[in-house]
Amino acid sequence: MPRTRMDELYALAEEHDGLFPSKEARALGIKDSVLVRLAQRGRLERMSRGVYRIAHYPADRLAQYREAILWARASQGPEHAALSHETALVLYGISDVNPSHVHLTVPLSARLRRERPKWITIHRADLVDDEIHFHEGLPVTAVARSIMDVLATTHRAEIARQAIIEALREGLVNAAQAGALRKQVNRTVHALTAATTKESQATADESSPR
């Protein structure tokens, strides 16, 4: 029995828990117009620009993360993208933070599609290979990188320190790595505190009567 278009799309989507990028469908010879018709008939769901989902496909807890990665890679987007910051800490299971957005780091020079889903927050950095790990099949920034990124963007030392404790407990870092991370966090916190104090002093000097 010949395979239908839906059979081909289902096989493609199985790799990503029901999701697939339209560019991969085009590589199979399935035109965008076919995807639009299938969506109109309720066979597919358009999740974001360039990303579709098989209707009624059982979604798992990682579906939104997979969608974020597929969105970033759609239409010649960057392959070197990774889930990062608070999202990475959640995926590793080393933080109780509950981010309202999925955090994604892409290269500095990456050209992304204009229609960014509101639930995705983009960060830009040129990650090297050892800063990207695969966790449950998803590209995620390494534990140390993730912790320091969260500290840099939130200035919340308690999140970073708790993540180090949990990472050590889960075996994601060893004692020496945890110790080095603590020292790095302490240095960063000291620098942030000094910068804040200097800025406050400058503001006070500007507002004082001359």
Whether residue 85 is found in the same domain as residue 44: no
- What pLDDT, in 10s, does the model give residues 20-46? 888 889 988 999 999 999 999 888 988
- What pLDDT, in 10s, does the model give residues 126-148? 999 999 999 988 999 999 999 99
pTM for this prediction: 0.74
What is the arrangement of strands in the sheet containing 44-48, beginning at the earlier edge strand? 19-21, 51-54, 44-48
Sequence letter at residue 137: G
Whether residue 91 is found in the same domain as residue 165: yes
Q: With bands split at pLDDT 50, 70 and 90, how would you rate the model's confidence at 114?
A: low
Where does a domain end: 18, 36, 54? Answer: 54
Domain count for the chain, please give it. 2
What share of residues in the chain are helix, strand, coil (percent, to 5)? 50, 15, 35
Whether residue 140 is found in the same domain as residue 181: yes
Check whether 118 has a pLDDT greater than 80.
yes
Whether residue 95 is found in the same domain as residue 174: yes
- The pLDDT of residue 70 is 86
105 three-class SS: strand
Whether residue 72 is found in the same domain as residue 154: yes
Whether residue 110 is found in the same domain as residue 22: no
Whether residue 49 is found in the same domain as residue 67: no
Q: 8: Cβ–Cβ under 8 A, 6 or more apart, which residues?
A: 28, 30
Domain limits for position 14: 5-54
Whether residue 103 is found in the same domain as residue 193: yes
Joined tokens for residue 103: 């955090």
- The pLDDT of residue 139 is 95
Q: To the nearest 10°, the Cα dihedral for 96, 101, 106, 124?
A: -90
End-to-end CA distance of the chain: 89
Domain holding 92: CATH number? 3.30.460
